[in-house]
């Protein structure tokens, strides 16, 4: 019958397509992987990733949380988590994550000089990502939060296709040019069958510390409109606040240093 022929064709197509993709293999000891992504750089993705990892741990002290900085060219987790130094090696030649505030962290920033640029071609970057995924002794983690680089390129595809991901969170400002790239990020995860847990609207409103007047510097509800358009949830709405920036720059993220603050 035509329906059985169609089904047979679909099966063959799926087999052909699957040949070129690597088999997903879980990271040993890690239960859930959540990736934090943005289409555009500079929207506060790393700041949000750090504070989400700390919030997961603060929300339930029985949970073990790790943080992986997958941004090879611009690693910022070491500074934000106030960590320096080289990882020790286990007898099995795996890297031990550095730890602060109860969070196990791994980053390219631990393996190179702080001021040294990473001037690498794609293949070298992919090799580094593979090492960060497979050659780290995470112990037993309930959550591994992965801070992705901006864009929809090799690193995003490699991470999405090599390990099972529980879900992705997309971060964007309400600005139109950021929203264009945030949409692409969401669509990319859908194409590689990674569930998008929702969107976070960052830098949504600025309140003058003197007169308390509120200004929507990057626009008002752009991310909310995009989420509605894509049929996704809004997970949070974060203001443009000097404390959020200052605390991350000083290596004392706001969730740790000011847990009772509005931010």
Residues 6+ apart with CB under 8 A from 37: 45, 148, 156, 168, 169, 170, 171, 185, 189
Quick check: 141 and 66 in contact, CB under 8 A?
A: yes
Return the sign of the alpha-carbon dihedral for residues 23, 105, 223, 31. Answer: positive
Helix (H, G, I), strand (E, B) or coil at 36: strand
**Predicted local confidence at residue 102, as pLDDT:** 95
Q: Give the pLDDT band (50/70/90) at residue 152.
A: confident
pLDDT of residue 24: 84
pLDDT digits (tens, 9 = 90+) for 95-135: 999 999 999 999 999 988 777 778 888 788 888 888 998 99
* 230 closest CA partner among 185, 193, 192: 185
Q: Are 261 and 243 in contact (CB under 8 A)?
A: yes
pTM of the model: 0.85
Which residues are within 8 A (CB) of 43 and not within 5 positions of it... i.e. 6 or more apart?
Answer: 150, 171, 172, 173, 178, 202, 203
Residue 150 CA to residue 45 CA, distance in Å, equals 9
Report residue 10's pLDDT band, with 50, 70 and 90 as the boundaries. confident
- Nearest residue to 255 via CA among 69, 57, 70, 64: 57
The full set of domains in the chain, from first to last, is 27-258 (3.40.50.300)
Contact 161, 50 (CB under 8 A): no
Whole-angstrom distance, CA of residue 144 vs CA of residue 34: 6
Arithmetic mean of pLDDT, 82-92: 93
d(CA 152, CA 150): 7
Q: State the pLDDT confidence band at 22, using cuts at 50, 70 and 90.
A: low
What integer pLDDT is reported at residue 117 of this predicted model? 78
Total Cβ atoms within 10 A of residue 164: 13
């Amino acid at each position: 019958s035509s329906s059985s022929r169609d089904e047979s064709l679909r099966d063959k197509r799926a087999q052909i397509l699957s040949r070129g993709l690597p088999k997903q293999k879980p990271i040993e000891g890690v239960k859930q992987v959540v990736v934090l992504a943005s289409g555009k750089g500079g929207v506060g993705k790393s700041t949000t990733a750090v504070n989400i990892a700390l919030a997961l741990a603060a929300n339930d002290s029985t949970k073990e949380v790790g943080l992986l900085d997958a941004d090879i060219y611009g690693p910022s987790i070491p500074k934000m988590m106030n960590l320096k130094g080289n990882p020790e090696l286990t007898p099995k030649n795996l890297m031990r994550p550095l730890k602060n505030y109860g969070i196990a962290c791994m980053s390219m920033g631990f393996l190179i000089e702080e001021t040294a640029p990473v001037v690498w071609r794609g293949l070298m970057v992919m090799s580094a990502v593979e090492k960060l995924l497979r050659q780290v002794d995470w112990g037993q983690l309930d959550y591994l939060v992965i801070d992705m680089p901006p864009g929809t390129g090799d690193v995003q595809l490699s991470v999405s296709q090599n390990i099972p991901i529980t879900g992705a969170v997309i971060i964007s400002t309400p600005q139109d040019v950021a929203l264009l790239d945030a949409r692409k990020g969401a669509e990319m995860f859908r194409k590689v069958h990674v569930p998008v847990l929702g969107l976070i609207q960052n830098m949504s409103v600025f309140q003058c510390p003197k007169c308390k007047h509120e200004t929507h510097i990057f626009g008002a509800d752009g991310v909310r409109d995009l989420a509605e358009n894509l049929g996704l949830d809004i997970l949070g709405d974060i203001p443009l606040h000097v404390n959020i920036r200052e605390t991350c720059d000083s290596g004392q993220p706001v969730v740790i240093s000011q847990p009772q603050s509005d931010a």
